[in-house]
A and B are shown apart, each in its own frame.
Chain A
Amino acid sequence: KAGVTQTPRYLIKTRGQQVTLSCSPISGHRSVSWYQQTPGQGLQFLFEYFSETQRNKGNFPGRFSGRQFSNSRSEMNVSTLELGDSALYLCASSSLITSGARDEQFFGPGTRLTVL
């Protein structure tokens, strides 16, 4: 079974631009979550999508948005990029969420975004 794939793997943008990152989950997984990883803040939850609906959202400004398609693929968008948005963006997928417990999340290799 193919793992979680993320494209592109590396991206360089300048301040003020916008960027779109893509994530393809493991086949059959309907939950996709996004995380931002930086040396200063560590790993922080951005949002989660399940069956094309946003289920949870972390504490990030509205410049960060996402969506999920009917095939469970997900994209996240960051508008008006700032230097502080430079980070590794990780996507994770999981199967149906069972009551009372989180199913294992499988992570992709990440997209490293550099904002100049």
Chain B
Amino acid sequence: AQSVTQLDSHVSVSEGTPVLLRCNYSSSYSPSLFWYVQHPNKGLQLLLKYTSAATLVKGINGFEAEFKKSETSFHLTKPSAHMSDAAEYFCVVSDPNAGNMLTFGGGTRLMVKP
């Protein structure tokens, strides 16, 4: 069975400082991994995805994530936080051995202080 653990339920940073949202996964096969963002009262928007190509994945709005198989991690980073980045972020795994169903992490709420 696959699972996703987001290590921090809340992260608070100051505007202009780096962002790190941590994600560890468990999968019996080579998974596809995603990060989605959800702003209040909105649906989920894809930030980036890893599908066994380059291990460093660049997404929208300056976010990127690095797939580390040895650490089973897929942490999300951004060099400089912006106020508009305040939202909830979800790490997601899709396991082809599980019918490509998506399994979501518990979410990390990012707060950005001025």
Contacts and interface: CB of A to CB of B under 8 A. Distances in A.
Given A42-B104, A42-B106, A43-B104, A107 B43 contact: yes
Interface in A63-116: 90, 92, 97, 99-102, 104-110
Q: How large is the interface on A (under 10, 10 to 19, 20 to 34, 35 or more residues)?
A: 20 to 34
A45 B96 contact: no
Contacts of A97: 100
Interface in A1-33: 4, 33
A101 B32 contact: yes
Contact of A101 (B46, B52, B101, B107): B52
Contact of B107 (A42, A56, A105): A42
Contacts of B106: 42
A101 to B, nearest CB: 4
Contacts of B43: 4, 90, 107-110
A101 B90 contact: no
Contacts of B45: 107
Interface of A: 4, 33, 35, 42-45, 48, 55-56, 58, 90, 92, 97, 99-102, 104-110
Given A48-B101, A90-B43, 6 more contacts: A43-B104, A45-B103, A101-B94, A101-B96, A102-B102, A105-B46
